[in-house]
Amino acid sequence: MQLKVFSDPKSFLEKTEDLLMEKEAENNFPLGKLGELILDPGPENYLLAMLEKGGKPVMVFIKTGGPLIISGDEDFFSQGIDLFAKFSKEENLKIPGVFGPTSHVKSFVEKWEEFFPIIWREIMEQRIFRLDKPRIEPGENGKLRTAQEKDIEQVTQWVEMFSKEADPGGEIPPALAREKAEWGIKKKEFFLWEKGKPVSMAKKARPTKNGVAITMVYTPEEYRKKGYGTSCVTALSKKLLGEGYKFCTLFTDAKNPTSNKIYEAIGFREIGFTLIGKFLEKN
């Protein structure tokens, strides 16, 4: 078994795509991140590594600016994490946290604690949902539209609020929220449910060969319990499926029964769990 490191995202995806596509919806995050890196590597340092057995990839490690993203065949996790930990020590890599399927992350943390003097802090367990066809139609309480340049201030504010309430990555500074809003609006990824004025938001993200994610679903408190968020997600799902995607994926806080119930009513079905957390150094 061998650990291989890549410098080119496109080459890495070509090598690992078959493994990740075995569970395309569940692997929306690593597949989407690789797609983003191929389109725009940017100045950010990133790490792309895979565990190979008999010339075939069995595990992937992806690190951009946040936690390490892991996925692969659980049968090889123990040895794979050993090899990755030794590599990390040799290269003096700092791994701030880890994200991936819940069972994978728990195995990773257990092994990581054997190699490094760290304390694990769980941030959020998420349910992974998949939608192939909505069960319901959007409500007649508004309409969906693509966010435009005139909406930058509104979207920036809602991105900030979403990060405070629901983003497992944590609250983000205003400048970064504005950057995300400007970039997402430029790429026509933000959508607003409007009833006279914007009352809810959702974002298209991380397209893969057959699917696409819906993220940053946010409705301000004063507009909640009116069906706006449900209509926004339903309408955006129908739009994306109508464009040719075979399914939509959505990650939710496993401990939020309200949002989970809403997505299930739309027609999303649970296909797995992910876990994200961070490592703290022991004093």
Q: Percent of the chain having pLDDT more than 70?
A: 98
Model pLDDT for residues 107-128, shown as the tens digit of each residue = 999 989 888 999 999 999 999 9
> Helix/strand/coil (H, E, C) string of the chain?
CEEEEECCHHHHHHHHHHHHHCCCCCCHHHHHHHHHHHHCCCCCCCEEEEEEECCEEEEEEEECCCCEEEEECHHHHHHHHHHHHHHHHHHCCCCCEEEEEHHHHHHHHHHHHHHCCEEEEEEEEEEEEEECCCCCCCCCCCEEEECCHHHHHHHHHHHHHHHHHCCCCCCCCHHHHHHHHHHHHHCCCEEEEECCCEEEEEEEECCCCCEEEEEEEECCHHHCCCCHHHHHHHHHHHHHHHCCCCEEEEEEECCCHHHHHHHHHHCCEEEEEEEEEEEEECC
Structure confidence by residue, pLDDT tens digits, 219-233? 999 999 999 999 999
Q: What is the pLDDT of residue 11?
A: 95
Domains of the chain: 2-116 (3.40.630), 130-274 (3.40.630.30)
Interval 40-87: pLDDT, tens: 877 568 899 999 998 899 999 999 888 999 999 888 888 888 899 999
Predicted structure pTM score: 0.90
* pLDDT at residue 44 in the model: 66
pLDDT tens for 172-213 read 889 999 999 999 999 999 999 999 999 999 999 999 999 999
